[in-house]
Amino acid sequence: MGNDSSATIARDPDSGVARDIEPTSSSMAPQGPALPFLGRRGVRIGLGVAVGLLMVLPALVTIGRFAGRSWLPVDDFGITDLRVRDVWTSNTPLTGLYSRPGWNHPGPLMFWLMGLISAPFGGAAWATRISGAVIQGAALGWLAWVTWQRGLRIFLAAATVTALSFLAFGPWLFTEPWNPNIPVSCFILFLYLTGLTADGWFSQLISMSVVGNVVMQTHIGYAALVVACFAWAVACTLWDARRHHRVPARWKSTVVISAAVWLFVWILPIVDVLLHWPGNLGKIAIYFVRGNHARVGLGSATGIMSDEFRWAPNWLGATTRVTSYTAHAVPASRVWLLAPVLLLGLGFVAARRSASRFDLRLVGLATVLFVVGAVAISSADEPRLYTFQWRAVLAAFIVVTCVWSIATAVAPWVPRVARAVVLVSVLGLVAYGTVSLGASVSSSVEYTNLQKRGPALGKVMDQLRREGLPTRRVIYLQSYGTALPSLYDGMVDELDRAGVDVRVRPEQGRIFGDQRTAHPSETDEIWTVTSQGSNIPALLARRGARVIAKTTPLAPAEEAEIVRLQQQLLGELTAARRLDLRGYLEEPLVAYAVGSVPGVDPTGVKRLAELNQRVVQSRGCRCAVIATPSS
């Protein structure tokens, strides 16, 4: 199996058979003495299995904890669950999950992969939940296997990058099947597939085509990095072919199969272009090429990148820095960029000294991605943290790649005992990063972050079922208020699952599917969903309005009190002509926000703030569904 230095043999890239190779391959480069205590084949195999299991541990824990367990997806998870069920219908998604700027992410591969996992279980919501963990676990298992085939040294480097990346995330990376989360583990695999392809294992271009398209179609934020990786791998291959006057083995079949993969995975997005010109891909191109949207800019982007190289970065377990309310990434001083620049320089010199072509090309890849990553951030409209979750992975990859290159160069002069200490430290780091994330998954809160409206959805659906779901009427569902419409998204999903013919406004077709759109006049009844109790009186003032479902975490007396105080404050803000502040009616900070407005009762506002805080701390919501006639 794998060997730490590959000094005399390497696996044939196309046959997988160990054979002698020419001196031009990086596997012939001096890698230093063998890793201590790993001379026996059985010990090495045991170590490989143990480390491989650690790499997939968080995914296994997620699957074990949530498989078969009831789940009520809301927000983007509700939309994802809905579209996953659409995969095996005539209305299969042609694009990815929706994005804020008015287009969707490039392709539906995420939905299709999740659909393969969900279908055998009848499209159950819990199957959608664990499908993200299954995809990431498969990617990490693939990473362990492919790097193990190349050698123990590369295998341990990949495991270290994985562990460091895990330290930057919480349990949501595996427990929330979200399109910013799912590509993270796939991207780590893709980086090493690129390195192996660039180093002469040309048949891995097929694997790159599969994994790279999964990453790029799932989230547009990875597109520039994926393209850069392909350019690097192809450029290195062409350089070797020209230098040695020899094309890679089986290059024709590899190129043909890779091209077939690309054609297959882009058929549906291309169909979307033909049916809805210029289609989603056209909208994306127009947005980035000709769009007049605000951009983060290169100055802020380099500061955001430098934040990954502070003295305590998140990939070493430090808390990720974000702005309040907006959750934007916080830039650091660009002085910190000297750290990766110095590391990349030392890594390059070390790779040249050790004559390791693999190290040299991996350092080159890290350098290219470091530059491309900053440019990619600069072109975004907002520096939202989740948009660039690959930053932690890229930073860990840069550091580990350079340190591994330096360690290879100095290994011949390092005492055996010192190398043993380093090896144990590396294994300890891998165990710490993977086990800590696995433990956080096992102890994670059932509904948190974007999922927090799940329990409220359960209460609403229970009330609607008791009244009898309208399976023979067409329901027009809409949201009302300024809060995130997470309950609304979940209701569309749950009503559809229950067999209700639920419709949304036409412009939301790209989110929920065009087959679920209609104008209100074409439906039998209108249901309005609000997550803000202060909106209920206004909604009930409409003709024929009635409450069909309602939730509150407060006691009846407190609920009556908060309704009275909110109506009182709304009247005071109206009299002061400050209705621009009505959005604070549900906020714990309401006293701070409106306390200086003339005519506002300070005692009432203070008490309202206390009740709002109690609602927030309860993880519940003062939500309601109001039904009105459609005409």
CB 608 within 8 A of CB 565: yes
- In this predicted structure, the answer to whether residue 9 has a pLDDT above a threshold of 50 is no
Q: What is the pLDDT of residues 13-40, one digit of tens each?
A: 433 333 333 333 344 333 444 455 566 7
Residue with the two structure tokens 């997988």 = 16
Q: What percent of the chain has pLDDT over 90?
A: 83
- In this predicted structure, the answer to whether residue 527 has a pLDDT above a threshold of 70 is yes
Nearest residue to 280 (alpha-carbon basis) of 109, 79, 98: 98
Q: What is the pLDDT of residues 322-333, one digit of tens each?
A: 887 778 999 999
CB 362 within 8 A of CB 161: no
Q: What is the mean pLDDT of the chain?
A: 91
User: What's the pLDDT score for residue 293?
Assistant: 81
User: What's the pLDDT score for residue 182?
Assistant: 97
Taking residues 222-243, report their average pLDDT. 97
Kind plus residue range of the DSSP H or E element containing 54: helix 41-66
User: What's the pLDDT score for residue 37?
Assistant: 55
Give the start-to-end residue ranges of the domains of the chain.
Answer: 10-442, 454-629
- In this predicted structure, the answer to whether residue 11 has a pLDDT above a threshold of 70 is no
The tokens for 37 are: 């205590």
Cα dihedral 129→267→272→490 (10° resolution)? 0
Q: What is the pLDDT of residues 400-422, one digit of tens each?
A: 999 999 999 999 999 989 989 99
User: What's the pLDDT score for residue 113?
Assistant: 98
CA distances, 567 to each of 196, 480, 586 (Å): 65, 17, 12
- In this predicted structure, the answer to whether residue 6 has a pLDDT above a threshold of 80 is no
Nearest residue to 470 (alpha-carbon basis) of 496, 505, 506: 496
Kindly indicate the confidence band of residue 205, based on its pLDDT and cuts at 50, 70 and 90: very high
User: What's the pLDDT score for residue 520?
Assistant: 95
Residue with the two structure tokens 């409106």 = 594
Kindly indicate the confidence band of residue 3, based on its pLDDT and cuts at 50, 70 and 90: very low
Residue with the two structure tokens 């009247």 = 571
Kind plus residue range of the DSSP H or E element containing 64: helix 41-66
Backbone angles phi, psi at 503, to 5 degrees: -125, 155
- In this predicted structure, the answer to whether residue 66 has a pLDDT above a threshold of 60 is yes
User: What's the pLDDT score for residue 38?
Assistant: 62
Cis-peptide into 278, omega within 30 deg: yes
User: What's the pLDDT score for residue 342?
Assistant: 98
Kind plus residue range of the DSSP H or E element containing 574: helix 556-575
What 3-state DSSP class applies to 78?
helix
Q: Using CA atoms, how far apart are residues 188 and 194, in angstroms rounded to an integer?
A: 10
CA distances, 448 to each of 74, 92, 165, 393, 558 (Å): 11, 30, 22, 24, 25
The more confidently predicted of residues 217 and 320 is: 217
DSSP string for 108-170: SHHHHHHHHHHGGGTT-HHHHHHHHHHHHHHHHHHHHHHHHHH-HHHHHHHHHHHHHHHHT--
Taking residues 598-605, report their average pLDDT. 94
Q: What is the pLDDT of residues 155-200, one digit of tens each?
A: 999 999 999 999 999 999 999 999 999 999 999 999 999 999 999 9
User: What's the pLDDT score for residue 392?
Assistant: 96
User: What's the pLDDT score for residue 71?
Assistant: 96
User: What's the pLDDT score for residue 555?
Assistant: 95
Q: What is the pLDDT of residues 428-466, one digit of tens each?
A: 999 999 999 999 999 998 888 888 899 999 999 999 999
Residue with the two structure tokens 């990875």 = 222
User: What's the pLDDT score for residue 41?
Assistant: 80
User: What's the pLDDT score for residue 290?
Assistant: 83
User: What's the pLDDT score for residue 620?
Assistant: 82
pTM above 0.85, yes or no: yes
Taking residues 335-349, report their average pLDDT. 97
DSSP conformation class of 372: H
What 3-state DSSP class applies to 610?
helix
User: Residues, the chain, total?
Assistant: 631
The strand pairing partners of 626, in sequence order, are: 528, 547
Taking residues 579-583, report their average pLDDT. 91
CA end-to-end span of the chain:
72
User: What's the pLDDT score for residue 278?
Assistant: 95
Q: What is the pLDDT of residues 460-516, one digit of tens each?
A: 999 999 989 998 999 999 999 866 678 999 999 999 999 999 999 999 999 999 999
Q: What is the largest CA-CA distance in the chain?
A: 87
What are the strands of the beta sheet with 501-503, ordered from one edge?
501-503, 474-479, 525-530, 624-629, 546-550
Taking residues 300-305, report their average pLDDT. 96
Kindly indicate the confidence band of residue 374, based on its pLDDT and cuts at 50, 70 and 90: very high
User: What's the pLDDT score for residue 302?
Assistant: 96
Amino acid in the structure at residue 74: V
